[in-house]
Every structure is written in C-alpha cells, then in structure tokens.
Structure 1
Amino acid sequence: MNTATGLNTTTAPRPGTAIGRLDSPLASRIRRTEHGYTGVEATDEWADEIRRLADLRDAVILAHNYQVPEIQDIAHHVGDSLALSRIAAGAEQSTIVFCGVHFMAETAKILSPDKTVLIPDEAAGCSLADSITAEQLAEWKSEHPDAVVVSYVNTTAAVKELTDICCTSSNAVDVVESIDPAREVLFLPDQFLGAHVRRKTRRDNVLVWAGECHVHAAINGDQLEDQARRHPGADLYVHPECGCATSALYLAEEGAVPADNVKILSTGGMVDAARASGASQVLVATEVGMIHQLRKAAPEIDFMPVNADASCPYMKMITPAALLRALVEGADEVHVDPATAAAARGSVERMIAIGNPGSGE
C-alpha cells in the first residue's frame, strides 16, 4: 500500500483508468440489499470522506436534478444529464462519477471516451430509455428508409448509434424544424415529448414512438387541474415528458389558468425560469427531486409538486452508501464500445451544430 496516497496499489495510476481500491473507515458499513446499497448515512463524516476520496481518485462528481438532496449537495456539479456530460468532458479530472441512471453515465462516456466513468449502482436503469431497443429502432427504420431519426438524449448508446440527430426536451422543436419539411421524422422514445413537438411544429410527418417515463406519465391532467384549483394564480412548470402537458395547455386555452403562467420546460429550463420568476407559488410537474434545486435557486418561492409521489426508484438507488462504494472500489465502471460511441457522438454533435445545444432532459 502507498501510505502517501492511501491506495492499495504499488504502481501509479494511468490517467483515465481505475486506480484500485481506496481505504476508508466507513467502507465496512456498506451493505448490499435487494433495494441497493445501504448502511451509510449522509453525515458530516460521510461528506468529508466523499470529498477526500474524490480527490484521491481524481474524480468529478456529477448529480442529476432528480437525485436525493444529500447527493445533490455533495456533488461538484448538479444539472440535467447532457449538460453534466458536457461539463465532465471539459473537466480536468480523469474520472467521472455520474450520480444518475445508466444511460446518463453512457452519455458521459460517449463524450469523454478517454476518461473513466463510474455509476454508483449499475442497476440504476431508466424506464424511458428501456422503452426502445436498438433492434426495435432498426426495424422501425427499415419500414421508413428515407426518414430522419431524432432520438431524445434519454436513450441508450446503442440507440444513439442508429440515430441521425439527438435532441433534448428544450431543443427538440428546433431540431425537428431544422429538418427538411418534406422528410419524414421518426421521433423517439417519449410519446409526450413527441406530441409536444408535433403540436409546436405542426408537422404531420413526425412519427412518434409510444414510449414513456413511468414517473412522468403518472403525473396526469386530473392531478394538475386539482392543484391548479387549490392554488389559483400559481405558475405551472411542466416537463414535456409528463402525461399532463396537454392538460396544462388546455387549462391555459380555456382561461382556467393564465396562459403566461403555464411553462413547458426542461429541468434546466425550470431552474432558469425560477431564478427569473416573480411568482410567489409554483406548481412543479416533474420528478420530485427537482424541487430541491428549485428551492435553492429561488428560496423565496413556494415550490409544490403536482404529484408528491412522483419519485423515480432508479434515481434513488444512488444512495450515500452507493456513492461511497463507487469511490472506494472504483465501481461500477461504464463501458461503451468505441465504434458505438463514435457514431453516438456524431448524433450529439449534429444536434449541437444546428445552433441550440439544449439544456438537457
């Protein structure tokens, strides 16, 4: 063991590679259960140890907006997945620890192929990304050989490999509008974001895959209408993946809610809107982890979830114990086949080239 660094290794680590196990007095408390990694609480001792281990591992810690508050607060950067991946690509650290779900860590690896990318629990998946496979997309493309494939960033690397242009929820409309109006578009995988794109572009040649995020889909119009009645005058921040997005626009059209109060926004867009808002109350239709960042951005505003039970179990698999384990063990490392990564990176670069890089999902 190298006593100067605390590493259980006799050779110096190569940049961008795992560096072996690190010693930590908290490591013995970590327990693996059927629900994930437990046994370690987010105490001050834990926070100090996370920072120490991150420095030893030369790691930058990224946390998605839907993570639990303790993980958001310890991270070097918090945001949506694409923005975080782009930050990581420019970071000086050789290791990226992505506190999010698996496709997000894949995207970080795609944009930083020479860096080590770790996800604290590789079982943290995504119901939306899982709603279409590369095989299903290949078959869909074969049925529409002249179509342009537009994939939301919330997809696997294998799907991005077969994609012409990626998009985010904030730039999906711009991406589709950049495509020749005569060309058919295959939009995937989120049906609610796809419906939003069709509505905004008024193109009937946008074919939409019937996928969904099970958390966002469960935030429905009845819940939104009920909360809007309970809180008249409140602004509505609605993520376009939500099942209630159409209902929000309907409420505005019918005059039940002032049209200026309804904002269809990405997670990054919600933070920007909160900082610029003069509202006293805001109803938020997205995963409940977002509330933490909104309250930090604008503590004077009363942010309320439309559905307080809209919590993603996969996001919440990134526990304090899981993050500690990732830094101690150098686990779980995310790999993307180089050819797949190169093709997928091209679909992201083509998105950026249209002039609106997007703020993420």
Structure 2
Amino acid sequence: MTAQLHYTPEIARQTRPIYESLRHVIPEVEWGVHAPYIAAINKLKREMNAVLLVHNYQTPEIFHGVADYTGDSLGLARQAAETDADIIVQCGVHFMAETSKILCPDKTVLIPDLEAGCSLAASITGADVRLLKERFPGVPVVTYVNTSADVKAESDICCTSGNAVRIVESLGVDRVIFLPDNYLGRYVAAQTGVELILWHGTCEVHERFTGAELRDYRKRWEGIQVIAHPECPPDVLEEADFVGSTKGMIDWVGDHRPNRVVMITECSMSDNVAVEFPEVEFIRPCNLCPHMKRITLPNILRALETRTHEVHVAPETGARARRAVEAMLAVA
C-alpha cells in the first residue's frame, strides 16, 4: 500500500512550476492533495525508466502533471512504438494498453486500473468479426483502435477517428467492413464514395450529445464556436462548425483562437486545452467517461510501486493484431 503522502514545503517548491500553468483550472486548495503524488510519480518513473502515456481525456493534474506523452489513440500508439523505456504506464483505457503491448511485446505495459474499459471495445468480439468475414467474403475489415486485441487480430487494418477516411480510401476498394463505431462509420461514409458495412457500437460519452443541445449553446452564448468529435450522432455533427478527432479539435482551437468555444467530447479535454489557450473561453459540457476517470494519481503511483496491473496479449493474437496496427501507422 502507498504510504500517506504529505504536502511539504519542498514538494510545494518542486511542483510550483506545474501548478502555475494549471492555476486557472485547478483551485490552489486542491493542489496540496495532488502535488505529493505528482512529485512521487515523477521521481519514481525516472528511477524505473518508465514512461506515462496519457490520453487527452485524463484530468489536468494527470495530463499536465505526470505525462511524458499526451495525445489521442493514434499519437499514443506512435509513442508506444518509438519509446526506449522499459515500462509503459498507459493512463487511458484497457484497449490502449493492449495496443501498447501489441506494438511493444518485450516491454512491461501497466494500466493503473483493470476496470478502465470502453463501451466501443465491449460492443464487439473477435468471433463477431469472423462471422462478418464469412458473410462478406473478401471484403477488407477496417477496425477502429477502440477495440480489443482479439478484434484487431481479425482485421486487415486499424484506424482512428483522425485518419479513418484516409485509411478507408487507401485500400482502393468499393466496399469495406468498418467496425465498431456506427456513428464514426456514418461520418466516414459521408466523406467517401466507399460503401461501409457498419456495426452497432457507440461511445457512451459521445452518444449522449444531441443537436438540440448544440442549438441551445448557440442561443445562450453569442458567437460560440461548436467543434465535435465524429463519434457523436449525425444531428450533432450537422450542427457543428468543425468535426474532428481530439487532436484535430486541439489543432483547430490553436489555429482559430476563437473567443468562445464548446468542445463536444469528454469534458476533461476542455480543461486540458484551456491550459494551453487561456485567452479562449471554454464552455464545458460535462459528459465524463467513467472509464477514463478510473485512472487517478494514487493508482498511477501504486502501479509503478507494485508493477501492477500488467497487461498481457497472447503472442499469436498480438502478432496478428500488430500487422493491422502497423498497417495503419504506415498509412497515417
């Protein structure tokens, strides 16, 4: 068990530069709780030659306090493939940790909470994909990275929300099986002439947004810009000023510097982006991902101290899944 940590003057001094950048998203009264864990994690990861891969949906004290690399699923996959660290701590959800293990089978990959899952990954199995391949013989399978290793192993190529259109078009065919996000698939289908055979999976965070909610934002906040993730329903995307992956949304804010913006995605991302662009007013729709929020500073520290929970992928499954992930990286 992790010993009780105390906020000492030395820890306050060590972590002050981090807090100065987070001042307008984390109240100072909370910093005394976070800072001892941040100091301990940053010290221990250096000693262990460990890196922390942190997804855009993590809370600011994790995202800005202890991350070595931050990004969307594609960005974190790239960093996993390139790191020379001995240990990867995946501060995201389980399929992301599996992807790191698929790309780095000889490294130790840890996830702070094994229950950090994903509604999309849970919506489909490798057996489901095999049945689809029997039903549509010869049709290539494009699988969103938000899937298990077993599903990736049955796929021809993976994609993310940021490169899905490019991946589909790279195959040079008229028809593909696109799994498992139905809303992302419908968005991709509208951007390309390729016929997509879709699955019924959805993201439990993004599916809750509605077009009416976006129209209400425009009524309540004059001049607001609305940017949305393509995992949202079609009526949401029709109302948005920009549609893109989490990286695409961050880049859009950086390029356009709107006076006021609402990011239609998991709400911690607004806090993280607000740190980079303090002059932009972020209206925060608070749809939280319960799985991402299972990752905390205390259980990150515990993962490092005890080397738990280690993620394993069967070698044969990992080898087949790696071909699909590497095919994506070669295109992207």
Using the size of structure 2 for normalisation, the TM-score is 0.87
The separation in 2 between residues aligned to 1:72 and 1:167, in whole angstroms, is: 24
Q: Deviations over 1:277-314 (max 9, x none)?
A: 13101111001111122112221111123x32x10111
Q: How many residues align?
A: 307
The one-letter code matched in structure 2 to 1:246 is: D
- Among 66, 74, 84, which residue is 2:76 paired with? 84
Q: Which moved more, 1:111-120 or 1:219-228?
A: 219-228
Deviations 1:14-71 (A, max 9, x none): xxxxxxxxx96448xxxxxxxxxxxxx8432222111122122221011111112221
Structure 1: which 5+ runs fail to align? 1-22, 28-40, 253-261
Q: Kindly report which structure 2 residues correspond to 1:37-186, keeping only aligned pairs within 5 A, or say none.
A: 42-73=33-64, 74-182=66-174, 184-186=175-177
Amino acid at match of 1:202: G
Structure 1 residue 134, shift from structure 2 partner: 0.8
Task: Calculate the TM-score normalised by the size of structure 1.
Answer: 0.81
Provide structure 2 residue ranges, at least 5 long, that are not aligned to the other structure. Answer: 6-31
Is the aligned partner of 1:237 residue 2:214? no
**Matching residue of 2:250:** 271
Contact 1:95 1:118 survives alignment (8 Å): yes
Q: Tell me if structure 1 keeps the 8 A contact 2:59–2:272.
A: no
Cα offset, 1:272, TM superposition: 1.2
Q: Residue in 2 aligned with 1:14?
A: none
Letter in 2 for 1:280: N
Whole-Å separation in 2 of the counterparts to 1:199 and 1:76 = 36
1:210 to 197, 200, 214: 200
Map 1:287-306; keep pairs closer than 5 Å: 287-305=266-284
Output the CA distance in 2 between the equivalents of 1:111 and 1:200: 30
Go from structure 1 to structure 2 and tell me whether the alpha carbon gap of 1:92 and 1:352 turns closer, same or farther (over 3 Å shift). closer
Counterpart Cα distance in 2 of 1:212 and 1:25: 40
User: 1:81 Cα deviation (Å)?
Assistant: 2.3
Deviation of the 1:82 alpha carbon: 2.5
In structure 2, the partner of 1:191 is 182
Alignment of 1:340-359 (within 5 A): 340-354=317-331, 357=332
Q: Determine the C-alpha separation between the residues in 2 that align with 1:196 and 1:290.
A: 22
Q: Name the CA distance, whole Å, in 1 between partners of 2:248 and 2:230.
A: 11
| Percent of aligned pairs sharing the same letter | 44
4+ runs deviating over 6 angstroms: none
Higher helix share: 2
Aligned-residue offset at 1:172: 0.7
Decide whether the 8 Å contact of 1:24 with 1:49 is kept in 2: no
Partners of 1:314 and 1:24 in 2: how far apart?
Answer: 22
Identify the residue that residue 296 of structure 2 maps to in structure 1.
319
